[in-house]
Structure 1
Amino acid sequence: MPERTAALEREAQRWNPRVWHRKVSRPVSVWIVVFLCVGLAHPLIPESRWLLVHIFTLGILTNSIMVWSQNLTERFLHKRLDDAARPAQLLRSRLLNAGILVVLAGQILRPILASHWLITACGAIVVCVVAAWHSLVIFRQLQAAGQTQRFRPVVGGYVVSAVSLVVGTIFGIALAVDLPGQWQSRILVAHLLSNLGGFVGLAAAASLTVLFSAMWRVNGTFDRPGAMLGVACVGVCIGVVGALTGNGVPVGVGLLCYAGAWAFALQTWLAAVLRTVGEPKQRATYWSLSALAAVAWLVASAVWLGVQFLTADDFGLSGAAPVLPLLLGFAAQLLFGTMSYLLPTTMGGGPSATRAGLAEQNRGGVARVILFNAALICWLLVPGSIAKIAFSLVVFGCLTAFLPLTARAVRAQRAVLTAQ
């Protein structure tokens, strides 16, 4: 009997939320290190832009969204997955990262291997299957939760986000083939809209409808998440259809519709934040300011790009497409800021332990946000290549601070737990 009890305790500990979450989150940490190393050394690496974009979008963003959308689905629906489902979640993570490595290998071999696209396609198919599997798991959780759950629209946003990744990955496979005529340009726009606007944007929108008020510590949550997510989804669909038909007008309309959904949410959040001005409670933290700045970058980029499509004579992305504002200003800033808040709260251990972890993550928080955004603006605007390199190093340096601060936060939280 004691042996049986000990075995049960070991099995329970194996799937303890902190333990399995650490396992499934480990690839995110590895990809962050790879991304920051490549980012700091990017002036010396050939084709560094493509490599940075795909290490970040596939390695960091895709892993992070799949981990946290599952975690937040369980929180919002107030129902944990059974422990029996955890091995499948870890398997999805491993398959996803295997597929990502194959995709990157295929594109790295492009200059020396004519059939590189076959390697890329095989990896992308694996990513596509994992994304479809992930969306099905969350959809079944949503069905089982019943109609009375308050955050059903939020979890529905995660389902649509994962489906968008499936669609965007299919477009990515087509891009690897080098399509004839204007199709390469059309598919590229559809790929960008599906992945950044649909997969990343809808997952971010779904999360922030709840997390924004928590990060700013203001009362209430966004009261119309379904409407906001629905309008954003419609905008993405209109844009993708316009891209496939080679018509810039619906692409522009879709982008402005998408930006309008985010702008509606942004003004609601800003109003809530402004109501707290003058209160002694500290609300301006690294994660709260990062979320606010990231949404502002997204709205500005979507509006700018939408206007470009509406006024352009020829269809396609210009050389000045806002890749850096979308990937760094929006996605990277939001991801690193949100993770700085979620990691200590997920690790838990009581109010004292969580406060200790958050305090470490917030070291120099306001200064880091200001420096990051100022350096990114200068990177975009200054004409000299040396100056651009200098400002890019500042941007990646600000992001790099996340790693040692996370390690400090874990140690501080464990110290409180040990004392307790």
Structure 2
Amino acid sequence: MRDLPVVLWLVAALVVALAHTWIPAPRWLLIHLTLLGAVTHSILVWSRWFTDTLLRTSTDRTLQNRRLSLLDLGVLTVLVGVVGGWWPVTLVGGAAVLAAVACHGASLQQALRSSLAPRFGIVVRFYLAAAALLPVGIVIGVLLARTQTDPWHERLLVAHAAVNLLGWIGFTVTGTLITLWPTMLRTRMADDAERVAARVLPVMLLGTAVTLAGALAGLPRVSAVGLATYLAGLLLLAPGFVRVARQRPPSTFPAVSALGALCWLAGSLVALVVAFATTESWAVAGGRFTWFTPFLAAGFGAQILLGALSYLIPVALGGGPRSVAAATNVLGRAGIFRATVLNGSLLACVLPVPPAVRVACSGLALLVLASFLPLLALAIRSSLAVRRTPADPVAGRGQGTGTVAPTPVTGPPPGTALALGLVTVLVATVGGIVADGELAAAGPSAAAGVVATGETTVVEVEAHDMRFTPATIEVPAGDRLVIDLTNTDASEVHDLVLDDGTDSGRLAPGESARVEVAVVGRDVAGWCSVIGHRQMGMTLRIVAVGATAETGESTEPGGTEPGGTKDNAGPGAGAHHGPAGAGGSAGAGGSTGQPAPLDPHAVPGTGFVARDPVLPPLTGETVHRHTFHIRDAQVEVAPGVTQTLWTYDGTAPGPVLHGRVGDTFVVTLVNDGTIGHSIDFHAGSLAPDRPMRTIAPGARLTYRFTARRAGIWMYHCSTMPMAAHIANGLFGAVVIEPDGLAPVDRSFLLVQSELYLGAEGGPVDIDKVNAEAPDLVVFNGYADQYDHDPLRVDVGERVRIWALDAGPNRSSAFHVVGGQFDTAYAEGDYLLRRGTGGSQTLGLLPSQGGFVELEFPEAGHYPFVSHVMVDAERGAHGVVEVTQPGR
């Protein structure tokens, strides 16, 4: 079955949607599994089928299967290459996809040439235009995987998406619906359809080309002109489509889905024209386009795919009109209801609704899309069952190929199904509002007993660079207040929370939301709840003009001053990282709930294994390539204590890099987290503006540096507030060995850091960070772990212990109880070399590192600690277990 790979791609997309928390780059995978996998495979199958049907040609099934196999293998290779960060693999996969599509286009061109005066040649020309555009999109996509620095990354991203969505998919869908739309409705095609289509094709081509040029040039308004031109081309077809629909209104799932998909395409184009035309900043325009992409993928791409397949697969299954009708009837079950729920849910997600509503409605949309898979299985079974059942002698007369016979209507009438679908979406929306309102109910009323005036004050507010603009809003007491909030930052996530519990929900770059206060009767305080943003001054004050003294004061949780607080972690904090820090964003909300249960006498469970403290050995590589995925992860940091950490590749500290002076490191950073993050390698010397910038969720960058000096170097997230990002797990070590470093028997690495525990299972407590009051000080991310699983060496072995103080705030005084260091190295130079001298402690400030060497004279248990003793008692403690050789 040629459509089986489509089912597999859709199943894979469903798995990613359900398990997105544990899968890297889930958004990217969802879009590409659906569009590059399922939709592209279907285009190769069905555009050829339509070509053969319209031109009365035939195709070599063996060659077609080879093209499809090459395509699917190429798509799979692209997915593996991009997610794994292996650009050569991505290049090979892209080349395979390009070759498959090029061969497909060549076969269509050959069919068109061999057909004598084809009546529907314009449809095939749409397919040829699409096949010519996809290779452009593929090349841009492969370059995009290689180019991680702005402004080119953002430009290529929009160019890639525009060419593939509007060109490859848009042209194919438009050309197909010229004939498929009236066929779905079982009515005649408009008389002027071919003539109009011939005028539309060059207009759409021009629009695509201008959009592409604007994207590559970084000119949003040029792209807006291109998008408007493309839309104008589509609108030329609209009168004919409407005339056909008036003859027989859409009432089946395939037809309603096709109509819904076209509405999403046209509506998205209108919104994008406005979004691009109203900004000169490509970062803002790119963010807006990125925000729309999932809706185009689901509302347009996925919906037209499932609608078309619901009509075409029964035809492909064959078996005569009875068999086709049976399969069509199954795939069309509850069609109006399903289409209404899908489109209503997606529309709700587009609107400025609370986060809980988006979760509920997106879940509904996913459920509707996923329902196609079991219905397809039932349709195939039904088709086969009908084939095995002898036909009624009269009803079966004339069985054969032809158009699909009308199928009996199942389920409620269309009007009832439409109403049920709308009610379902409404119930999900209300449920989300109620769930979201439980938090709002915890805050004091903003009305404060003031009588409503019936007037409304509307204010536009921008969230940008750790500030709300304007930061003060004056509202006549008793007015209703509407705040249209837009996140105009290029990479940070923000929100707005008011002290009455009203919450905008998290806004990605370019997103907007509406925050409403029914009656403003007192001063109201607002702030960004992303970790650290409020402390950096991201606060807002609503002043009730004319309120009485008794009702005019704002209140905030914890009794802080109206308008929020601002402490030492202001915009200038961490100024030595200026350009990187300037793009800061922080975590997914502060810790709430019960504090993490910290028991100093607790022990890990049975089978506990400490993080491997052995320094990874050097390899022969001189160019080290790595991909770091930033993930939010539930991590145990002490016995019975779990925190949500921000991690590089799921661990804190992150992966250890080990090399020599002169080695080059190429690190691809992929942000699979929920907020903006970054990375700063102290081991490299380069301008921080581009490689250390904050990247938004779903984005990636490539950081390339050459290690020119020896030492143990820290790397960390430099997004503001930096202390919070480091304290919550985004740090690690790079060891660059000095030339001529003597070999040793054992080499260990210990990274000291602090933990400021939030609620159990929650993220860092920013107030504790700012107060410099850690709950735990640990080696390699877990309190006292090497007490329970010691470092093991033999008597007389030479031992080197590399140490790094990752901070963010406290110094380290590394000491081995019962041992003496005969060699000490810190910050790129020796403090002590082997001889008669000795050292007892290696002192390190935050971000400093070095190593010590020693030999243990006899068997026993040698504790190692930070000799800042309160920190040793907080968890900076471990044991070296020394045994006689052979034991």
On whether the aligned pair clears a TM of 0.5, the verdict is yes
Percentage identity across paired residues of the two chains:
33
Query: What is the distance in 2 between the residues matched to 1:126 and 1:242?
Result: 28
Of 30, 34, 47, which residue of structure 2 is paired with 1:69?
47
Query: What is the distance in 2 between the residues matched to 1:41 and 1:391?
Result: 18
Q: State the Cα distance separating 1:155 from its structure 2 match.
A: 0.5
1:186 aligns with 2:164: no
Query: What is the distance in 1 between the residues matched to 2:238 and 2:316?
Result: 26
Q: State the Cα distance separating 1:303 from its structure 2 match.
A: 1.5
1:255 aligns with 2:265: no
Q: State the Cα distance separating 1:43 from its structure 2 match.
A: 4.5
Query: What is the distance in 1 between the residues matched to 2:178 and 2:110?
Result: 22
Query: What is the distance in 2 between the residues matched to 1:47 and 1:190?
Result: 20
- 1:319 is aligned with what amino acid? G
1:226 aligns with 2:198: yes
- 1:355 is aligned with what amino acid? A
Aligned to 2:439: none
- 1:91 is aligned with what amino acid? R
Structure 1 alignment gaps of length 5 or more? 1-21, 111-115, 278-282
Q: State the Cα distance separating 1:180 from its structure 2 match.
A: 4.5
Answer whether contact 1:154 1:226 (CA < 8 A) is retained: no
1:301 aligns with 2:272: no
Q: State the Cα distance separating 1:173 from its structure 2 match.
A: 0.8
Query: What is the distance in 2 between the residues matched to 1:346 and 1:156?
Result: 23
Answer whether contact 2:127 2:175 (CA < 8 A) is retained: yes
Aligned to 2:66: 91
- 1:381 is aligned with what amino acid? L
**Structure 1 residues 198-209: aligned runs within 5 Å:** 198-209=167-178
Aligned to 2:259: 292
> What is the TM-score normalised by the length of structure 2?
0.42
Answer whether contact 2:275 2:288 (CA < 8 A) is retained: no
Query: What is the distance in 2 between the residues matched to 1:39 and 1:273?
Result: 35
Aligned to 1:313: 280
Which structure's CA Rg is the greater one?
Answer: 2
> Over the residues paired in the alignment, what is the CA RMSD in angstroms?
1.7
Q: State the Cα distance separating 1:152 from its structure 2 match.
A: 0.5
Query: What is the distance in 2 between the residues matched to 1:264 and 1:202?
Result: 14
**Structure 1 residues 143-162: aligned runs within 5 Å:** 143-146=113-116, 148-162=117-131
Aligned to 2:32: 54
Query: What is the distance in 1 between the residues matched to 2:375 and 2:81?
Result: 34
Q: Deviation per CA, 1:305-333: give whole Å up to 9, x if none.
A: 12222221212534332112211111111
Q: State the Cα distance separating 1:98 from its structure 2 match.
A: 1.4
Q: State the Cα distance separating 1:105 from its structure 2 match.
A: 0.9
Query: What is the distance in 1 between the residues matched to 2:172 and 2:14?
Result: 23
Aligned residue pair count: 384
Q: State the Cα distance separating 1:361 from its structure 2 match.
A: 1.0
- 1:212 is aligned with what amino acid? W
Of 132, 139, 149, which residue of structure 1 is paired with 2:102?
132
Q: Deviation per CA, 1:30-67: give whole Å up to 9, x if none.
A: 11111122223335534211111111121111111111
Aligned to 1:265: 237
- 2:31 is aligned with what amino acid? V
Aligned to 1:387: 357
Answer whether contact 1:298 1:325 (CA < 8 A) is retained: no
Q: State the Cα distance separating 1:360 from its structure 2 match.
A: 0.9
Q: Which has the higher helix share?
A: 1
* SS at 2:282 equivalent: coil
Answer whether contact 1:43 1:389 (CA < 8 A) is retained: no
Q: Deviation per CA, 1:122-169: give whole Å up to 9, x if none.
A: 2111111111111111111111113x1111010111111111111100
> What is the TM-score normalised by the length of structure 1?
0.87
Aligned to 1:327: 297
Answer whether contact 1:262 1:295 (CA < 8 A) is retained: no
Aligned to 2:561: none
Query: What is the distance in 2 between the residues matched to 1:86 and 1:348?
Result: 17
Q: Deviation per CA, 1:188-235: give whole Å up to 9, x if none.
A: 221112100100000000100110011112222434222222221221
Q: State the Cα distance separating 1:336 from its structure 2 match.
A: 0.2
Distance 1:391 1:40, change over 3 A: farther
- 1:331 is aligned with what amino acid? G
Query: What is the distance in 2 between the residues matched to 1:102 and 1:352?
Result: 41
- 2:252 is aligned with what amino acid? T
Answer whether contact 1:285 1:362 (CA < 8 A) is retained: yes
Q: Deviation per CA, 1:328-387: give whole Å up to 9, x if none.
A: 111111110010000112222222222111111111000000011111112222543333
Answer whether contact 1:382 1:388 (CA < 8 A) is retained: no
Q: Deviation per CA, 1:87-106: give whole Å up to 9, x if none.
A: 22111111111111111111
Query: What is the distance in 2 between the residues matched to 1:234 and 1:134?
Result: 23
Aligned to 1:37: 15
- 1:299 is aligned with what amino acid? A
Answer whether contact 2:35 2:302 (CA < 8 A) is retained: no
Aligned to 1:5: none
Q: State the Cα distance separating 1:179 from its structure 2 match.
A: 5.2
- 2:19 is aligned with what amino acid? A
Q: Which moved more, 1:93-102 or 1:366-375?
A: 93-102
Answer whether contact 1:375 1:391 (CA < 8 A) is retained: yes
Q: State the Cα distance separating 1:119 from its structure 2 match.
A: 1.6
